[in-house]
């Protein structure tokens, strides 16, 4: 079974129980079923190092400006008998 990454075009040969009607000839001269996938380790942002850091502080400030800052709830007062 040959899997092809749609975004990078990289192909790799592996064993799988998946089926496909499309085939491709591999470098060993044999024909194998071809399955295209959207994301592999070759294109995933985590593995390529292209992931971005989210600005969570800016989001919190924007939320507080829009809805106001919530004050923490005070602890309930317990009466002693």
Q: What's the pLDDT at 1?
A: 93
Q: What's the pLDDT at 64?
A: 80
Q: Is 80 inside any structural domain?
A: no
Q: Is 58 inside any structural domain?
A: no
Q: Which residue, chain included where needed, has tokens 């800016």?
A: 58
Q: Distance between CA atoms of 34 and 24, rounded to whole angstroms?
A: 6
Q: What's the pLDDT at 76?
A: 62
Q: Distance between CA atoms of 46 and 37, rounded to whole angstroms?
A: 17
Q: What's the pLDDT at 55?
A: 61
Q: Is 34 inside any structural domain?
A: yes
Q: Where are the alpha helices (DSSP H) in the chain?
A: 45-48, 56-67
Q: What's the pLDDT at 28?
A: 95
Q: Is 67 inside any structural domain?
A: no
**pLDDT tens, residue by residue, 9-47:** 899 999 999 999 999 999 999 999 999 988 887 776 665
Q: Is 57 inside any structural domain?
A: no
Q: What's the pLDDT at 6?
A: 87
Q: Is 27 inside any structural domain?
A: yes
Percent with pLDDT over 70 in the chain: 67
**pLDDT tens, residue by residue, 46-69:** 656 665 555 666 777 777 888 876
Q: Is 75 inside any structural domain?
A: no
| Domains in the chain, number | 1
Strand extents, DSSP E, 1-81: 2-5, 11-13, 23-25, 31-37
């Amino acid at each position: 079974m040959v899997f092809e990454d749609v975004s990078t075009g990289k192909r790799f040969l592996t064993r799988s129980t998946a089926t496909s009607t499309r085939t491709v000839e591999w470098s060993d001269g044999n024909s194998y079923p071809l399955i295209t996938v959207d994301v592999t380790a070759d294109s995933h942002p985590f593995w390529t190092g292209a992931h971005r850091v989210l600005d969570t502080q800016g989001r919190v400030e924007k939320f507080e400006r829009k809805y106001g800052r919530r004050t923490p709830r005070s602890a309930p007062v317990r009466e002693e008998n």
